[in-house]
Amino acid sequence: MTASSRPRRLLGRTARESGYLLLSFPLAVVGFVLAVTTVTVGVTALAAFLLGLLVLAAGLAAARAVGSLERRRLAEVGFPLPAVLPYRGGQRGTAWVRGRLTDAQAWLDLLFQVLNFPISVASFVLTITWWSVGLGGLTYPLYSWALPEGDIGLADLLGASGPVLDNAITVLTGVLFLASAPWVVRGLVHVHHAWARLTLAGTSHAALEQRVSTLTESRAAVVGAEAETLRRIERDLHDGPQQRLVRLSMDLQAAQRRLADGDREATSALLTESLEHVQGSLAELRTLSRGIAPPILVDRGLAAAVVSAAGQSPIPVETDIALAPGQRLAPARESAAYFVVTEALTNAAKHSAASRVAVRVGIDDDGVLRVVVADDGVGGAHPGKGHGLAGLRDRLAGVDGELHVESADGRGTVVSAAIP
């Protein structure tokens, strides 16, 4: 940072923080009125029970909204607060009232408004006073001539006299107030931030609770996805290689009998058919292995595995892989990305009636691995439970990934995954 840029940065920071303090006063008035109204009207209306509970719930919802606004305002001036546990919406009727009344953070947000009012009044007065004295003192020589005769100036209060001395002392006072304004304003913001940390930052375990909840949901999704994968593999083995091997065993037994009878032509036909069953079983086993952990993915990485999967698709596939040559990612990320590509290509081949598919794989500047599979088919794909894409969403949940599907009828399907 250059020496000339420091004053500009200091001035900009002070201006933002002064704006924050000045705006805090009207917002604190609204918050204080909200808190007083919620408590007094809500408690008074408890005689009517449901009406009182409804008033309290509505007041807590409004307090949560005002608290969220204050959290954003503090973050904008460089004083972010720890994340709070978000309120889970989607509730209606008595469930909404019960959810609001049991929302601990809403009660803390309501409590914040009570003491925030006197803090905001004091900071508003001090901010206005500091800037007024500073600017008024600095510009005092410009308007001192218009003051009425006999007006007592700052020099007179200090026991000095004379217009020159009066101007000098007043200007010096203004300079001192302006010079100290950045630190006074910053100190007042610290006071706001300190009270907000006690209330608006929520309980210390709120973020941990949110993380535990997220991990519990993702773990359940992964367990479900793995169970579904095992059921699919078992079904495919039973319907494919197992049936072929049973038929192979029967053909070989028949060939033994024909060979014992000296029927070489029948034996040769049975052996030829057995060889076809062996080759078919091997092909089906290779297909199954590609859905689990193909050797090419383990040995050569995601880029080579995606190219290989694209080459085996019955639909022409155009690949755009923005990975460095030989770049390897964490095994879980590579496996999840490969699963997205293969499942999307399989769905496109079965259901889309597409003439071409495009596969793009790359890493954003923020390190997120993005996979996009787009076709020009009939669309209509759905990621909900009971559909093929549901397994993709559950598999990605295990690596904190997200799945998005765009599939309007007649406009093709775009399956995109983001893996952090």
pLDDT tens, position by position, for the chain (420 residues)? 555 567 777 777 777 877 777 777 788 787 777 777 777 776 666 655 566 677 777 787 888 888 888 888 888 888 887 777 666 655 666 777 777 777 777 888 888 888 888 888 888 888 888 888 888 878 877 876 666 665 555 555 565 565 666 777 778 888 888 888 888 888 888 888 888 888 877 654 555 665 666 666 656 655 555 656 666 666 666 666 667 676 767 777 777 777 777 777 777 776 777 777 676 666 666 666 555 566 777 778 888 888 888 888 888 888 888 877 777 877 778 888 888 888 888 888 887 787 888 888 888 877 788 888 888 888 777 766 445 666 677 677 767 777 888 877 777 888 888 888
User: According to the model, what pLDDT value does residue 384 have?
Assistant: 60
Pairing, β 369-375 against β 357-363: antiparallel
Distances (CA, A) of 93 to 99, 304, 404: 10, 54, 31
Half-sphere exposure of 342 (CA within 13 A, CB side): 25
User: According to the model, what pLDDT value does residue 96 have?
Assistant: 74
User: According to the model, what pLDDT value does residue 378 have?
Assistant: 82
- Helix 302-311 and helix 331-347: axis angle, to 10°? 10
User: According to the model, what pLDDT value does residue 141 have?
Assistant: 76
Contact between 56 and 107 (Cβ < 8 Å): no
The answer to whether the pTM exceeds 0.75 is no
Q: Considering Cα of 281, then 284, then 289, then 294, what sign does the dihedral take? A: positive
User: According to the model, what pLDDT value does residue 287 have?
Assistant: 61
User: According to the model, what pLDDT value does residue 178 have?
Assistant: 82
User: According to the model, what pLDDT value does residue 341 have?
Assistant: 83
User: According to the model, what pLDDT value does residue 367 have?
Assistant: 79
Q: Which of 235, 206, 215, 229 is nearest to 291 (CA)?
A: 229
User: According to the model, what pLDDT value does residue 43 have?
Assistant: 66
Contacts of 187 (CB under 8 A, 6+ apart): none
For 287, the token pair is 């297909």
